[in-house]
Amino acid sequence: MRLLFVFALLAVVSTIFATCVPSERTLFVPAVVNENRSETVKIGVETKPGTGEVFVSITPAVGLYTQESEKIASDIAFSVAGKKECDVFLRIFTTEGISQVDGPSAGAAITTMLISALRNEPLRDDFSMTGTIERDGSIGLVGGIPLKAEAVAKLGKKLFIVPQLPKSDMIGILLVKRFYNLTVFEADNIETAYTLAVSNKSPEEQLTLQPESVFSFVKGSVTHPQLEYFKKVSSSLINKAEIAINGTDLNHLANFESRLANIKNAFESGQYYYAANLGFLLGIDGEYVRFSPEILRKEIDSVNTCIDSFKRKDKTLENFELTGPAEIRYILAKNRLPSKPSVNEFISAEFSVYESTLFAKYWCDAATQLNNYPKIGNETTFNETILAAYAKDLIGSATIELGNSEDLDLQWHLSTAKDAYARGMYVASVIDSDFILSTLQVSTTKINESTELINEHSNRSYKYLWPQLFQNHARNFEKDQATAVRMFLFASKLNESFGTIEKLAIESNTEKIIPIINQTNKTDIETGIKPQSTYEDNLNLVLIVFGVIIIAWISFSRYNKSENGREKKYKQGYRSRVK
C-alpha cells in the first residue's frame, strides 16, 4: 500500500514539473549597426502551454539566418529544460526605421532566455550576451565584439558573456575595459553561459592571451648578393617588435614574449622572410594594445610623412628585386592609411582605424628600407616601361582566372596589381599578379598531386632572392599542405617572371634609353602622368628625324630656286653686255 502511495506521489510530482508554466523573459542584446556603432536590441520570449510549436513575430521581418538560429535555440532549450509541453513565442523589439533583422548572433541569448522561461528560473538583470548557438550546444563566434561590449557598457550592464575570443577580439575587449567598468566572461557552451546568467555571483575574469607553443623551423638556405641586406631589414623589424612589446601589461606579456622567442628562433634558423613577417605582425600588436585617440591621430600624421617621403628609383638589373617589392608595400601603405576619424561616441570604432594605421606604418617602413638598399658596384639601368605589356598580360590573366570570386584577399591583391600598373610600377604589378595566379592554382591541385608537387618544388634551384625566401618559408608547412603548395607555386611563378624581367631588360638597349624618373622633379606617382611605352618613345624619335629631313629638304629647295634665279639674271646681264 505504501509502495503504491509513493508511485502515485512521484507521478503527481512529475506531472507538476512537466506542466508548462506560462512565463516571459526579456533581454537587451547588442547588435552592430555599422563599423562605427552598435546598439542594444530588446528581445522577448514567452512560453505558454502547448505542443512545442515555435511562433515568431512578423514585425520586423525576420531573415532566414535569424529563423534558423531561433529554431536551434528552441530545440536546445526544450532538450535542456526537459519540457516540450510549451509553445514558444519570440519577438524582437527594434527601434523606429528598422523593418528587417537577420543574423545568428543572438542565438545563445535566445537559448538562455528560453531555458530560463521553461524552468521558471529568473535571469540576473545586470548582464547581456552575444554568440551563435550551434546544434551541439556550443556558442559560436560573432563579429564586432568590442563594439558590442561598448554598447552593453553604455547601457549600464556590468557583465557581458561572449564566446571564446580570438586574439584580435581579446585585445579589443581589453582595450574597451580600459574605458569602461565591464566584466567580460568567455563561455564556450550554453550550460556554462546559463549557469552564470541565473547566478548572482560575479565571475572571475580570465582575459589573458595564451602563450604560443615553441616552434621548430627548417634550416633555411639562400644564396644571393642582396641576402645580407635583407637580413638587416628582417633584423630591424624584429628589433622594432621587441621595442613595441616592452612594458606591455600581463594580459598580453606571455603571448608576446613567446612569439618573440619563436621569431628569433626563425631568424637564427635562416628563415629570414618568415622572421620578418612574424616580427611585422608582432610589432603591430605591440603598438595596438597601447591605443589612445591621441596616439591614433599622431600616427596618421607620421605615416603620411613616411608615404610622402618615399621616392621611386630607376630600375636596374641589380635592384629590381628590392625596389619592386618596396613599391608594393608603398602602395599598400598608401591605400590602407585612413583619414583622421571624426569624434565618435564609440571609442571602439577607432580600434580598426588604429590597426589600419599601424599596418600602413609598418608597410611604409618596410618599403623605405627595401628601397634604400646599398648599391653593389655599377648598376645597369633599364626603362621599366619595357615591362608594361608583360605586366598587362598578367593582370588580364589574373582578372579572368579570378572572375567573380568572393575571395576578398585575392581581390585586394588584384586591386594592388592594377594600382601598381597605373602608376608605372610594373615590377610591383607583376609580383601581385603572380601571387593571385599561383594561389588560384592551389584550388585545382588534387591531394595526391600536392605531395608530389611539394617534394618536387622543395628541391628546385632558384636564381632570385624572393623565390628562394618563399621556398624556404614553404618548407616549414609540412602539416599544412595548402599553404606549402601555395608558397611553392608562388616561388616558382615569381622566379619565372623575374627571369622574364631580366631578359626583357637585357634585350632593351639600356645605354640609349633616357631615364624614366628625374629624382629632382615630381615623379609620375605625384603628377598622375603615365610613362610612355618604348614604342611611343621610338615613334616620337622617328617623327622628329622625319621632321628635320623635311625642313632640310624645304630649305635646300628654296636655296636652289634662289641660286637658279641669280644665275639666270647673271646670264641675261652678261648677254646684254655682250650685245
185: three-class secondary structure by DSSP: strand
Residue ranges in 19-131 assigned as alpha helix (H)? 64-81, 107-119
Q: Which residues contact 193 (CB under 8 A, 6 or more apart)?
A: 108, 112, 129, 131, 139, 161, 187
Confidence of residue 4 (pLDDT cuts 50, 70, 90): very low
Most confident of 14-18, 99-103, 239-243, 547-551: 239-243
Sign of the CA dihedral running 210, 216, 221, 225: positive
State the Cα–Cα distance between residues 487 and 481, nearest whole angstrom. Answer: 10
pLDDT of 261 higher than 90: yes
Sign of the CA dihedral running 154, 156, 158, 159: negative
Per-residue pLDDT at 79: 92
Per-residue pLDDT at 96: 62
* Average pLDDT value for residue range 44-68: 85
State the Cα–Cα distance between residues 26 and 46, nearest whole angstrom. Answer: 9
475-478 CB contacts, 8 Å cutoff, 24+ apart = 475/218, 476/217, 476/218, 476/271, 476/274
Cα distances (angstroms) measured from residue 206 to each of 142, 165, 187, 250, 496 = 20, 11, 11, 12, 51
* Residue type at position 397: S
Q: Which residues pair with 27 in a beta bridge?
A: 43
Per-residue pLDDT at 528: 36
Per-residue pLDDT at 19: 78
Per-residue pLDDT at 516: 43
Per-residue pLDDT at 407: 92
Per-residue pLDDT tens digits for 104-138: 899 999 999 999 999 999 999 999 999 999 999 99
Per-residue pLDDT tens digits for 451-462: 899 999 999 999
Per-residue pLDDT at 538: 52
Cell numbers 620578418: residue: 276
Q: CA dihedral in degrees (372, 376, 379, 384; nearest 10)?
A: -40
Q: What is the mean pLDDT of the chain?
A: 86
pLDDT of 394 higher than 80: yes
Q: Which residues contact 153 (CB under 8 A, 6 or more apart)?
A: 160, 176, 180, 181, 182
Per-residue pLDDT at 554: 57
pLDDT of 517 higher than 90: no
* Average pLDDT value for residue range 307-311: 97
Distance of CA 548 to the CA centre of its chain: 56
Lowest mean pLDDT among 67-76, 168-177, 254-263: 67-76
- All three cell numbers of 285, joined, read 600588436
State the Cα–Cα distance between residues 53 and 84, nearest whole angstrom. Answer: 9
Residue ranges in 289-425 assigned as alpha helix (H)? 293-309, 320-336, 351-371, 388-402, 408-422
Q: Which residues pair with 56 in a beta bridge?
A: 90
pLDDT of 525 higher than 50: no
What is the 8-class DSSP label of residue 377? S
CB 151 within 8 Å of CB 38: yes
State the Cα–Cα distance between residues 257 and 244, nearest whole angstrom. Answer: 11
More confident: 62 or 561 = 62
Distance of CA 544 to the CA centre of its chain: 49
87: three-class secondary structure by DSSP: strand
pLDDT of 11 higher than 50: no
Confidence of residue 60 (pLDDT cuts 50, 70, 90): confident
Q: Which residues contact 233 (CB under 8 A, 6 or more apart)?
A: 276, 366, 369, 370
Distance of CA 393 to the CA centre of its chain: 26
State the Cα–Cα distance between residues 33 and 18, nearest whole angstrom. Answer: 41
Length of the chain, please? 579
- Tell which residue, 278, 552, 511, has the closest CA to residue 380: 511
Residue ranges in 120-177 assigned as alpha helix (H)? 145-154, 167-177
Q: Which residues pair with 76 in a beta bridge?
A: none
Per-residue pLDDT at 6: 34
Per-residue pLDDT tens digits for 183-225: 999 999 999 999 999 998 889 888 999 999 999 999 999 999 9
More confident: 572 or 390 = 390
- Tell which residue, 498, 495, 504, 499, has the closest CA to residue 533: 504
Helices (H) and strands (E) in the chain, counts: 20, 11
Q: How many Å from the N-terminal Cα to the C-terminal Cα in the chain?
A: 175
Per-residue pLDDT at 450: 86
162: three-class secondary structure by DSSP: strand
Q: What φ, ψ does residue 87 adopt, rounded to 5°?
A: -95, 150
pTM exceeding the 0.85 threshold for the entire prediction = no
Per-residue pLDDT at 558: 54
Per-residue pLDDT tens digits for 323-374: 999 999 999 999 999 998 888 889 999 999 999 999 999 999 999 999 999 9
Helix (H) or strand (E) holding 43: strand 37-49
- C-alpha angle with apex 480: 140 to 457, nearest 5 degrees? 155
pLDDT of 530 higher than 60: no
- All three cell numbers of 137, joined, read 550546444
State the Cα–Cα distance between residues 139 and 73, nearest whole angstrom. Answer: 11
**pLDDT cut 90: percent of the chain above it:** 70
Per-residue pLDDT at 545: 53
Q: Residue 522's CB: how many other CB atoms inside 10 A?
A: 11
- All three cell numbers of 372, joined, read 634604400
* Average pLDDT value for residue range 486-503: 97
Per-residue pLDDT at 98: 65
Per-residue pLDDT tens digits for 63-106: 788 888 889 999 999 999 988 889 999 998 876 656 677 778 99
CB 560 within 8 Å of CB 566: no
Burial status of residue 65 (CB atoms within 10 A of its CB: 0-12, 13-18, 19 or more): middle
